[in-house]
Copies of this chain bind each other. A is one copy, B any other.
Amino acid sequence: MLCIHRRLRQVVWNDQIMILAIDIGGTSTKLGLVEEGSVVARSRMDTLGDADEQAFLDRLVERALALAVKEKVKIRSVGIGAPNGNQLTGTIENAPNLPWTKDVPLARMISERMNVPAFLGNDANAAALGEWRYGAGKRHKDLLVVTLGTGVGSGFIVNGELVLGSAGNAGELGHMILEPEGRACTCGRKGCLEAYVSIRGMKRSYEEAIATTGKTCLDLDIPAIVEAARNGEPEALVVFDRTARWLAIGLANAVCATGPSRIVLFGGLSRNRDLLMPRLTRQFDDHLLNIYKGRVDIVTSELPDDDAALLGAAALTTV
């Protein structure tokens, strides 16, 4: 009886303890409670609007605890994916798309506040882990996962291991320079992939396309550009042509580095499969070095919205 009683207690106990996964994006921050590779509850908040990182932390912890209370769950550990998150130090370093200019040791800050272990990594690396373990990247020992959103992030898997690099910050495909005298990038340099393929970059491409027509440029957001493209507006279609071309060149360059067998696209832009993928695969084939042709494919994430990022953030706690 004692034995059964103990097992029963253990089961109940296990059911109530989960990993808190946090995905910090340039515009919104998503939270999820993760158990056995599934996101069982979600919440979200704006990333922007706080006076400093302490005020952000206050809101984040409040939101996390509210989610845990609502779901009657205890939090065992916290995994955080963030732009420029350094997995070796647990610090967000100098992130160009986040409102803090200094380095923020967010893993330590959350751990001290919530009194559980906390692990932080690059948001794109977290998404790569999620896609690799649970999504479209399963069974690929050499994989590239690219996140397309406010910025362009990436996570490389090589020989069955996530590439962290010597200083924990490898995998910045969005900041490969594709046009040395090209557009200014938020990183302070010129011509990065991200200056063309991000949300900001697509808006800029639309402005440029409109400027050549003499029409008045409307300040369109991405959903409006997508809708215009679906309605056949030439300038909006040009945006997708150009974005696909830049992305194709960036991906072809990344293949030259680590030779993955698959590239998984993830995030906002990748959800417009019909507009993006036919253009992208054609341009990718045009720009891929001949020795890689037929040896690498491009697919979009198979996981439900946001789940790769959250599952990957959770996976950071067990790497």
Task: Please give the residue numbers on chain A whose beta carbons come within 8 Å of chain B beta carbons, in ascending order.
Answer: 84, 93-94, 140-142, 156, 158-159, 161, 163-173, 175-180, 187-189, 245, 249, 252-254, 256-261, 287, 289-292, 295-296
The reply to whether B259 and A258 form a contact with Cβ atoms under 8 Å apart is: no
Q: List 9 A-B contacts (CB under 8 A).
A: A142-B165, A159-B164, A169-B292, A170-B257, A172-B256, A176-B256, A177-B178, A178-B180, A258-B258
Q: Which residues of B contact A93 (CB under 8 A)?
A: 291
- Contact present for B177 and A287 (CB under 8 Å): yes
- Contacts A172-B256, A177-B252, A258-B257 given; indicate if A187 touches B290 (C-beta within 8 A): yes
Report if A163-B173 is in contact (Cβ < 8 Å); known contacts: A180-B179, A254-B257, A290-B187: no
- Assuming the contacts A93-B291, A166-B140, A259-B171, asked whether A249 and B159 have C-beta atoms less than 8 A apart, the reply is no
Q: Interface majority SS on A: helix, strand, loop or mixed?
A: loop
CA distance A168 to B296 in the complex (A): 12
> Which B residues touch A252, using CB under 8 A?
177
Q: Verify B259–A164 contact, CB threshold 8 A.
A: yes
Q: How far is the CB of A175 from chain B (nearest CB, A)?
A: 5
Partner of A166, one of B142, B164, B177: B142
For the complex, what is the distance from the CA of A112 to the CA of B293, rounded to whole Å? 30
B166 touches A259 (CB 8 A): yes
Contact for A171 among B166, B172, B253, B257, CB less than 8 A? B257
Whether the Cβ atoms of A287 and B189 lie closer than 8 Å is: yes
B167 with A261: CB separation less than 8 A: yes
Among the listed B84, B163, B249, which residue makes an inter-chain contact with A259, where contact means beta carbons less than 8 Å apart? B163
Q: Does A165 lie within 8 Å of B289, measured CB to CB?
A: no
In angstroms, Cα B282 to Cα A148, docked, is 32
A189 surroundings in chain B (CB, below 8 A): 287, 289
Q: Chain B contacts of A173 at CB under 8 A?
A: 256-257
Q: Which residues of B contact A179 (CB under 8 A)?
A: 179-180
Minimum CB–CB distance for A124 against chain B, Å:
12
A159-B161, A159-B163, A176-B253 in contact; A170/B287 too (CB < 8 A)?
A: no
- B-side contacts of A289, CB under 8 Å: 172, 175, 187, 189
| Residue of B with least CB distance to A142 | B166
Q: Which of B161, B169, B292, B295 is in CB contact (< 8 Å) with A291?
A: B169
A258 proximity list for chain B (CB < 8 A):
156, 158, 163, 165, 170, 257-258
Give the residue name and chain of the B residue nearest to A84 (CB): B291
Question: Shortest distance in angstroms between A79's beta carbon and chain B's nearest beta carbon?
Answer: 21
Whole-angstrom distance between the Cβ of A123 and the nearest chain B Cβ: 14
Residue of B nearest to A143 (CB): B166
Inter-subunit contact B253/A295 (CB<8 Å): no
Q: Could you tell me if B187 and A156 are in contact, using CB atoms closer than 8 angstroms? A: no
Contact check, B259 vs A180: say whether CB atoms are below 8 A apart.
Answer: no
Q: Give me 15 other A-B pairs in contact (C-beta within 8 A), A163-B259, A165-B259 excluded.
A: A94-B290, A156-B257, A158-B163, A159-B159, A159-B161, A159-B164, A166-B261, A167-B291, A167-B292, A169-B259, A169-B291, A171-B259, A175-B256, A254-B257, A257-B258
